[in-house]
């Protein structure tokens, strides 16, 4: 079945460091890909998404490119801030599968001042 694999956390970085959180997927069909973020004490929020190969999603300085050839959707940010500390979830949805989102396990990110 469809699945999402993302790098284990926690990831700890200093402020202004470059961030990469890896995400790969397996899916039959043509999924859309998402990154959701969960700040402490809150629910999940959509961070960015891409709906087809080579699309780049971007928001709040974060970017991810839908790479069909490597079945990847890695999350990147050039200069992280303390306020980026959160749990990040990679996810996919294939619209012919009853709109069910498949989430990765989440990667906890700690940014040190």
Partner 1 sequence: ETGVTQTPRHLVMGMTNKKSLKCEQHLGHNAMYWYKQSAKKPLELMFVYSLEERVENNSVPSRFSPECPNSSHLFLHLHTLQPEDSALYLCASSQRGQETQYFGPGTRLLVL
Q: Which is nearer to partner 1, 69 or 99 (CB)?
A: 99
Q: Is residue 101 near partner 1 by the rule CB under 8 A?
A: yes
For partner 1, the binding residues in 23-62 under the rule CB under 8 A are 32, 34, 36, 41-46, 49, 51
In the list 66, 88, 104, 111, the residue contacting partner 1 (rule: CB under 8 A) is: 104
88 in Cβ contact with 35 (< 8 Å): yes
Q: Is residue 82 near partner 1 by the rule CB under 8 A?
A: no
As beta bridge partners, residue 27 has none
Q: Is residue 98 near partner 1 by the rule CB under 8 A?
A: yes
Window contacting partner 1 (CB under 8 A); options: 15-23, 64-72, 77-85, 102-110 = 102-110
User: Where on the chain is the footprint of partner 1 (CB under 8 A)?
Assistant: 32, 34, 36, 41-46, 49, 51, 89, 93, 95, 98-101, 103-106
């Amino acid at each position: 079945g469809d699945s999402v694999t993302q790098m284990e956390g926690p990831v700890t970085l200093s402020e202004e460091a470059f961030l990469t959180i890896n995400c790969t997927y397996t899916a039959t069909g043509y999924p859309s890909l998402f990154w959701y973020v969960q700040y402490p004490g809150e629910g999940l929020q959509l961070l960015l998404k891409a709906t087809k190969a080579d699309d780049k999603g971007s928001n709040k300085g974060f970017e991810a490119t839908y790479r069909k050839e490597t079945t990847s959707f890695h999350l990147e940010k050039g200069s992280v801030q303390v306020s980026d500390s959160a749990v990040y979830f990679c996810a996919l949805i294939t619209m012919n599968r009853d709109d069910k989102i498949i989430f990765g396990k989440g990667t906890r990110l700690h940014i040190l001042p």
